[in-house]
Amino acid sequence: MKQIICILDACSIINLIHIDEDDFLLKKLDEYIEYYLCETVFSEVCANVYTKIDKLRNEKKIKPEEAKERKKEIDITLSNFRQKQEKNSKIKTEFGADFFKTVKSLTNYPKNNGEFYSTALALYISRFKEINKKKFIGTKVFFHTDDYPAKEFFSSFFFEQQIGYIEDTADLLVLLYRLDETFTINQLDRYLSNLFSEYAPEVSGLHKRLQKIKSSLNLKLRRDKAFIKNLDKLIYKLSEFEFFEINEPIKFFSRNSKKYPNVYDAINHYSLVLDLQSNSTGLLEKIRKVRKEKDNVFRLGLAS
Residues 251-279 as b/e (b if ≥16 CB within 10 A, e otherwise) read: ebbeeeeeebeebbebbeebebbbbbbbe
Give, for 36, the enclosing helix (H) or strand (E): strand 34-38
pLDDT of residue 170: 96
Quickly count: other Cβ atoms within 10 Å of residue 237's Cβ: 20
User: Which string of DSSP letters, residue by residue, matches 170-196?
Assistant: HHHHHHHHHH-TTS-HHHHHHHHHHHH
User: Angle CA(61)–CA(63)–CA(52) in degrees, nearest 5?
Assistant: 55
pLDDT of residue 242: 81
pLDDT of residue 263: 96
The values of phi and psi at residue 203, to 5°, are -65, -45
pLDDT of residue 304: 42
Which of 237, 168, 153, 154 lies closest to 198 in space, CA to CA?
Answer: 168
Residues 41-58 as b/e (b if ≥16 CB within 10 A, e otherwise) read: bbebbeeebbebbeeebe
Which of 141, 274, 159, 257 lies closest to 206 in space, CA to CA?
Answer: 274
3-state SS class at 282? coil
User: Angle CA(102)–CA(106)–CA(109) in degrees, nearest 5?
Assistant: 100
pLDDT of residue 271: 79
pLDDT of residue 130: 66
Instruction: Compute the distance between CA of residue 231 and CA of residue 250 in angstroms, rounded to an integer.
Output: 9
User: Angle CA(242)–CA(168)–CA(20) in degrees, nearest 5?
Assistant: 105
Do 4 and 142 contact (CB within 8 A), yes or no? yes
> How do the pLDDT tens digits run along the chain, 304 residues long?
577 999 999 999 999 999 998 899 999 999 999 999 999 999 999 999 999 899 889 888 899 999 999 999 999 999 999 999 999 999 999 889 999 999 999 999 999 999 999 999 999 998 876 666 666 666 789 999 999 889 999 999 999 999 999 999 999 999 999 999 999 999 999 999 999 999 888 899 999 999 999 999 999 999 999 999 999 999 999 998 888 778 889 999 999 999 999 999 999 888 778 777 776 667 888 898 999 999 999 886 544 4
In tens, the pLDDT along 26-79 reads 999 999 999 999 999 999 999 999 998 998 898 888 999 999 999 999 999 999
pLDDT of residue 272: 78
Max alpha carbon distance in the chain (Å)? 67
